[in-house]
Amino acid sequence: MRNSIGIFVALLGILSQWIAAQENLSSRIVRLPLNQNEPSVIKVGTRGVTTIEFPSKIEALDGFGFSVNPAPDGPDLFQISFNKGTNFLSLKAMKEGVDGNLTVVLDGKVYSLFCKSVDDPVFVVIFESGGGKRTTNS
């Protein structure tokens, strides 16, 4: 009987650790409003990739320090993976502690992403439309 209780307590401990790990991983998927008026901060790591999904196809990308094929000891800050005609891209930081901005054009509108290399990166960022409207002076 004591062995059964000991096994039960051990299994309960393993289950609670698994549940805690699942909760921590769910925080690695982030939903953000798409907003032209404010840069979105994207937490990127050096091990693994962060994939960013947009509500429409990417028309253009521009950013200093972003490269498809960065040299291991080169000046590039981030590795970027993108296929024309898709609505997503993936990023990986090449060095610890770097940051840079990436400009993305969707439906003729320009959005700014501030990418930061951190120890606790997100796995997926999903942008949702309607977060911010273009302001005009009248």
Q: How confident is the model at residue 71 (pLDDT cuts 50, 70, 90)?
A: confident
Cα–Cα distance list, 36 to 6, 39, 63, 98, 131 (Å): 57, 7, 16, 23, 8
Contact 76, 94 (CB under 8 A): yes
Span 78-108, pLDDT tens digits: 999 999 899 999 999 999 999 999 999 999 9
Which amino acid belongs to residue 37? N
> Domains in the chain and their CATH numbers?
31-128 (2.60.40)
* φ, ψ (nearest 5 deg) of residue 51: -100, 135
What's the pLDDT score for residue 73?
83
Which token pair is 10? 């051990």
Whether the model pTM is above 0.95: no
**Tokens 């521009």 correspond to what residue?**
62
Measured distance CA(118)–CA(93) in Å, rounded: 9
